[in-house]
Structure 1
Amino acid sequence: MELNSLLILLEAAEYLERRDREAEHGYASVLPFDGDFARKKTKAAGLVRKAPNNRSSHNELEKHRRAKLRLYLEQLKQLVPLGPDSTRHTTLSLLKRAKTHIKKLEEQDRRALSIKEQLQREHRFLKRRLEQLSVQSLERVRTDSTGSAVSTDDSEQEVDVEGMEFGPGELDSVGSNSDVDDHYSLQSGGCSDGGYGYPCRRPARPGLS
């Protein structure tokens, strides 16, 4: 676009110079002096002189851009798996492989995100289950403690025979009964004669029918 503008300005400058020469030789009438026209002519001449400088600046910018592009391509080679023949890859093949690699990474990212969401759901479920089991365990412990307290009260209400104390009369009656039992056991043992047993009738206990 800038080159076309410069060409147009050059043509305009040449046309004006040709008209000036024709006016000097009397081929055409001289136009009245116009300040604007003179300024435009001077500006066009300045642009013509600056054209080589613009071209060199453009070349420098293009060289810098290509250097940055080569640097980016080298970095891309480090990121994209190219295989053993990576040195023979062109820029187009490198960009295609990079595109395929990006799609693969996006698919892996989606899969990992799905697994992460599933693990989060399982974590929430297990957390709720743990809370339920904790509540049930506390209720069971409370129930067991209540039952043990009731059984302790019942055992305290039972009679402790070994710890009972007897009066003198009660001890005599217990002792007389044990003496009677011993007497009759001795009599039952005396009914044998020299190892030959014969039927023996036990006398009835006093006071028993």
Structure 2
Amino acid sequence: MEKHINTFLQNVQILLEAASYLEQIEKENKKAAEFLERRDRECEHGYASTFPSMPSPRLQHSKTPRRLSRAQKHSSGSSNTSTANRSTHNELEKNRRAHLRLCLERLKVLIPLGPDCTRHTTLGLLNKAKAHIKKLEEAERKSQHQLENLEREQRFLKRRLEQLQGPQEMERIRMDSIGSTISSDRSDSEREEIEVDVESTEFSHGEVDNISTTSISDIDDHSSLQSIGSDEGYSSASVKLSFTS
């Protein structure tokens, strides 16, 4: 939207420059017309003042053709100058009208005129362009005010979030440090228990020999008890030996 506003303002600026250019051309044309009118008056005055009041016939016959030829040359030169000025003025006016027509066509494209408007005057288009520019400026001011409010609200929410995250972040760091300490203590205790279990299951070669010898002697005693019970005529109860491993 800002791009369209800038483009529209540039076109309006061009139109204003064209209007000032037209005013300048009109002033120059007015000055040229005044100059031509003054030249014509001067020529007429010079032509009327060339003849003496009562010249002698000889002087009249000798000087009149020269004065007449000089006046004719002067009048012909002024007519040529006026013709050149007129052609220049017509060319400038033609260019001015073409430039003004182009600016008005561009202005019709930029201004929302409505479907009911078929013909427009230059003054009407300029008034509508002025009103449209005021509307765009008002919309731009409202948008800028709304943007500033949103930026202030964003800064407030950001500060509030930082305030809320401060205690939570410290608590989280403290809990993480406590959890890491507990986990390290557990890992140390588990490591010690594993070392104790491994040490309790280790035996020397002498203990293994004693255990095997004791087991063999216990089996022999059990066999002798069974044979004695059978000789005496009663069945001996089976003796259960528990072995600790």
Structure 2 length-normalised TM: 0.50
2:177 & 2:122 partners in 1: Cα distance?
82
Say which structure is richer in helix.
2
Kept after mapping to 1: 8 A contact 2:32/2:85:
no
The 1:10/1:93 distance shift into structure 2, 3 A limit, reads closer
For the pair 1:3 / 2:71, whether they are aligned, the reply is no
1:88 & 1:12 partners in 2: Cα distance?
47
Kept after mapping to 2: 8 A contact 1:9/1:44:
no
Show structure 2 runs of 5+ residues with no match.
1-30, 60-72, 201-245
For the pair 1:107 / 2:138, whether they are aligned, the reply is yes
1:110 Cα deviation (Å)? 0.5
Q: Which residue among 75, 92, 105 is the counterpart of 1:61?
A: 92
In the alignment, which residue of structure 2 is the partner of 1:50?
81
Partner amino acid, structure 2, of 1:130: L
What SS is found at the alignment partner of 1:87?
coil
For the pair 1:92 / 2:129, whether they are aligned, the reply is no
What SS is found at the alignment partner of 1:82?
coil
1:3 & 1:49 partners in 2: Cα distance?
15
1:16 & 1:47 partners in 2: Cα distance?
12
The farther-off stretch of 9-18 and 99-108 is 9-18
1:84 Cα deviation (Å)? 1.1
Aligned residues: 151
Q: Deviations over 1:103-122 (max 9, x none)?
A: 11111100100111111112
Kept after mapping to 2: 8 A contact 1:6/1:48:
no
1:93 Cα deviation (Å)? 2.5
In the alignment, which residue of structure 2 is the partner of 1:73?
104
Kept after mapping to 2: 8 A contact 1:80/1:101:
yes
For the pair 1:129 / 2:160, whether they are aligned, the reply is yes
What SS is found at the alignment partner of 1:21?
coil
In the alignment, which residue of structure 2 is the partner of 1:22?
52
2:44 & 2:155 partners in 1: Cα distance?
85
Structure 1 length-normalised TM: 0.57
Greater relative contact order structure (CA < 8 Å, 6+ sep): 2
Q: State, as a whole percentage, how many aligned pairs show the same letter.
A: 41
2:162 & 2:50 partners in 1: Cα distance?
102
Q: Deviations over 1:115-149 (max 9, x none)?
A: 11111112212222333344333201122134435
Show structure 1 runs of 5+ residues with no match.
30-41, 166-209
What SS is found at the alignment partner of 1:72?
helix
Partner amino acid, structure 2, of 1:6: L
2:74 & 2:144 partners in 1: Cα distance?
64
The 1:3/1:44 distance shift into structure 2, 3 A limit, reads farther
What SS is found at the alignment partner of 1:88?
coil
In the alignment, which residue of structure 2 is the partner of 1:141?
172
1:67 Cα deviation (Å)? 1.1
Q: Deviations over 1:32-72 (max 9, x none)?
A: xxxxxxxxxx8887444211111111111111111111111
For the pair 1:13 / 2:43, whether they are aligned, the reply is yes
2:140 & 2:169 partners in 1: Cα distance?
43
